[in-house]
Amino acid sequence: MKINVYGTESYTTWLVREPVEIDTDNYPEMDGMSEDEVKEYIRENLHDMKATNDEWYGSLGEELDQMDIRRDKIYNEDSDVIFDNE
């Protein structure tokens, strides 16, 4: 009898990147918003907002994605063996 055996690995990775400081005065769309409203606006519009360094990045979201990693953590590591037909 021949059986295919597969090794598997799973884990979760969490990365924290260096921060980007934004000045809300440079984003007129945020004029008059409270701090909580600004945070929600950024969460919802990150990839449509101009970058703080628009010579290098197309959006604030892209800028954040390209920042150096400050901290990373791998957790929930697991391994298993599976067989065909499982």
Local structure of residue 25 (DSSP, 8 states): G
CA-wise closest residue to 71 among 12, 16, 11:
16
SS3 call for 21? coil
Torsion of Cα atoms, 41 then 47 then 49 then 52, to 10°:
110
Residue partners of 38: CB distance under 8 A and separation at least 6: 24, 30
Sign of torsion over alpha carbons 64, 69, 73, 77: positive
Q: What pTM was estimated for this model as a whole?
A: 0.73
Q: What is the pLDDT of residues 9-52, one digit of tens each?
A: 999 999 999 999 999 999 999 999 999 999 999 999 999 999 99
pLDDT exceeds 90 at position 1: no
pLDDT exceeds 70 at position 3: yes
